[in-house]
Amino acid sequence: MVVGVSSLTLKITFNSSFRIGSGRSGNMLDDVLDRDRLLPGSSLKGVMREAARGLFPMLDEATDHRLVSEVFGTTRNPSPWHWDDAEFTANPKIRPQSRIALDARRRTQPGALFVVETAHTPHATATIWQQDQIVAGQLQAHLALLNLAARLVEGLGADRRRGLGWVTISTDRHECDKDIAILFPQTGGPAS
């Protein structure tokens, strides 16, 4: 086992406004943002885990592929990686946004007007850093999966299917072809 200082920096470009609700209401608002943590590391980790499952599908409805479990952790074995909260290159503008729900006849459903806060900003960065031991020889596979999973993320936060949270993520690890070769050797399938 080795403990290193390995890290991966995410560069996030927002293609639309986003929101990660706090679960709290505010003055005339049904859901407000947590202004101290607009984009928590835990949210980035969640969407990246989901993207990683696209590369390495779950073995059954409760069991991730071994590499996904190693990188993102399980209830019994925490991740050896830590996701920092996003840091924004400019102060995000917070704005209210309303939405409605439609009934079966495609009319506005009574009592279904929601007003939520959204954040508008062009860019953010976040760092994923090694906080615990990684099995010897697995560091490059971990970094490869983190890099490719980040790049596969297209949306984050709430209402992604309603036009919010669309993003493009790049990283400081530029050699995607090498990462694909690490994860998918010439045997034609995922590394075990």
pLDDT in tens, 127-183: 999 999 998 889 999 999 999 999 999 999 887 777 788 999 999 999 899 999 999
CA distance 161 to 4: 39
Global confidence as pTM: 0.86
111 pLDDT band, cuts 50/70/90, is: confident
CB 14, CB 171: distance < 8 Å: no
Span 132-142, pLDDT tens digits: 999 888 999 99
Mean pLDDT of the chain: 88
CA distance 168 to 17: 13
Mean pLDDT of all residues in 8-33: 81
φ/ψ (deg, to 5) at 52: -65, -35
Q: Which of 16-25, 44-53, 69-78 has the lowest mean pLDDT?
A: 16-25
What is the Cβ-side half-sphere exposure of residue 41, based on CA atoms within 13 angstroms?
A: 13
Q: What is the pLDDT of residue 151?
A: 98
φ/ψ (deg, to 5) at 100: -125, 170
Q: Provide the residue ranges of all domains of the chain, joining segments of one domain with +.
A: 7-183
Name the residue among 166, 155, 177 with its Cα closest to residue 50.
Answer: 155
φ/ψ (deg, to 5) at 144: -65, -45
Assigned fold of 7-183: Alpha-Beta Plaits (3.30.70)
